[in-house]
Chain A
């Protein structure tokens, strides 16, 4: 029964929905050589937990309130580059897939998958393998040089920087400049500058229209 710490996969489970999170934790705990070291209800919490817990795999929901999950992943990878991310989402938007591919996530699973498949994906990640759900794989082209999306993004979005996309996502959730600046760990002036720039690039000058645009383009959920 006793499994040495060296072979136990340490998992951090991040989902704002208690129902899925708690049941999935129980399911993963039943696995030998797998330990859910903690659960978190937001990406902010996950960022705070990583230095102490040093998880091998972070299983993360995509659409959560607070810090954007991809930004959380970027921050975690900057200090703990060995961390392996697997995303689990009810949504299957090209932008989410593109971001998870871009920073080398070890998987993107939809909630159509049975729990066993989540377990398999976690084990595969530890072997260095990437797992995509069928619905996700259908949107990807696998080439010798790597993986890319089958369809290209809306051209206006291509012109936005990563920070501007992040700002746009927060605006579309109805957050104020002050709240956005706090989440991005920047001054209010900087957040406003990002907003001005993205409004100019998109030629949209109203936060309601920005929100509609971001939701339409699959950058955010309504």
Chain B
């Protein structure tokens, strides 16, 4: 026991301090126990949401905050932004059950350094934590497949945006109608354009979003809460 404690102390110098925020007990507990086994990581606390998290963050000044996000919900991002506000050095890593474009954009907008999904392995999470602690930017493959480079940006690591945010205002409008199940013929009179124009928009939208089936497109708009049911 004494020897272990001494080892623990040695590590304390270089261990990355992590705060975990996840509303689901299953993931929160599993991840906590998993990360605790890693000698380079110290979980300084777990919280169910950002409000609880900010208290822990102020108390323990974590190096990295790992936050789970689920639905496209602005709230968790707002809460985490407050943590970043009081701890400007903190590195944010998002963990999502699926890589929603809107969540990716929100995360990027508050300077997230990492974005992983539940499709990643537990080892990928520890690797990401170590990576962002060293100053790297870590996006998983699934997230990367939803990212495109912003035109004319000097810093490629942060000069990215989601596929959704590449749509023009007009395309977004057409997407909202398509998501409700409307045909080009039904959409055209609403926008006071011809069928062909709507069809052209639809093609561009599907290309930009990398979605190639009408049912997939509808599911996308529901998932991203662009359309209600």
Give A contacts to B, CB under 8 Å.
Answer: 16-20, 22-24, 26-27, 88, 90, 111-116, 118, 171-174, 206-209, 211-212, 215-216, 222
Contact = CB atoms under 8 A, between A and B. Distances in A.
B222 A114 contact: no
Given A24-B30, A111-B26, A112-B26, A174 B213 contact: yes
Interface in B211-228: 213-216, 218-220, 222-223
- Interface pairs A-B: 4 shortest CB-CB: A222-B222, A17-B118, A174-B215, A23-B30
A212 B26 contact: no
Interface stretch (B78-86, B120-128, B147-155, B194-202): B120-128
Contacts of B213: 174
Contact of B119 (A17, A27, A211): A17
A172 B215 contact: yes
Given A23-B31, A222-B219, 4 more contacts: A23-B34, A90-B24, A116-B29, A172-B219
Interface residues of B, number: 31
Contacts of A112: 23-26
Which applies to chain B's interface (DSSP): helix, strand, loop or mixed?
Answer: helix
Which applies to chain A's interface (DSSP): helix, strand, loop or mixed?
Answer: helix
Interface of B: 23-27, 29-31, 33-34, 70, 95, 97, 117-122, 125, 181, 213-216, 218-220, 222-223, 229
Contact of B118 (A20, A88, A208, A215): A20
Nearest to A15: B118
18 contacts: A19-B95, A19-B122, A20-B118, A22-B122, A23-B30, A23-B33, A23-B122, A27-B30, A113-B26, A115-B26, A115-B30, A171-B215, A172-B215, A172-B219, A174-B213, A208-B214, A212-B218, A222-B222
